[in-house]
Amino acid sequence: GTLAVIAVVPILLTACLRELGTTSAYNSPHHLDQLKWTVAAVGLLVASCCAMVTAWYLHLKFEDASIPTAIGFSWLIAGAEYCLQVPANRIGAQKAGLAPTTLRCIAELATLVAFLVFQSQVLGKPVLTNHVIGFLIVFFGVLIVLVGPWTTVVGARSGVPRAGDDKGDEALSEGEETLPLSLSQE
């Protein structure tokens, strides 16, 4: 469990760094400031996801508790979790400059890892091979979202503008076509 967390965090930070910019700016004060905020956002998101997994599944350990009691305790944990999640997304988006999609992917990976650890360590249930394989498939899907080479917006005429490029569609050359929203030919 701990090894999985140790393996995932550098991948998340690498993906965030890729989004923040490339090599030459790594030593600039602005980049180091963004890196600090990125680490804070990732840390808060990981803590948030651990809390949410606890809210969702801890009641299973207490079979004698009534459903209203389980709901009440779950809501208390979830309410506290929002005190981590909301600042994580605010810091990530506003201070670190991370896209909402990147923040969601970080949270998704953290939730998957937290769930596997929680299931085995707290609930005492085994982690099966199909659990790991299924979650690895989701993990690779998240990697495609975070570091995939495709930057064209579905329905747009060119790639997504990079940070600081506010030209958007006005920068497109005339004659470029919009990608179809479906694969069928009309």
Higher pLDDT, 139 or 54: 54
Q: What is the mean pLDDT of the chain?
A: 79
Q: Which residues of 150-159 are buried (b: 16+ CB within 10 A; e: fewer)?
A: eeeeeebbbe
pLDDT digits (tens, 9 = 90+) for 88-117: 999 999 999 999 999 999 999 899 989 999
Percent of the chain with pLDDT over 90: 51
Query: Given this model, what pLDDT does residue 29 score?
Result: 67
Q: What residue segments make up the domains of the chain, in order of their start?
A: 2-149, 152-186
39-58 tens-digit pLDDT: 999 999 999 999 999 999 99
Contact 35, 17 (CB under 8 A): yes
What pLDDT, on a 0 to 100 scale, did the predictor assign at position 61? 96
pLDDT at 150 over 70: yes
- Angle at 70 (CA atoms; ends 88, 117), nearest 5 degrees: 55
pLDDT band at 15 (very low <50, low <70, confident <90, very high): low
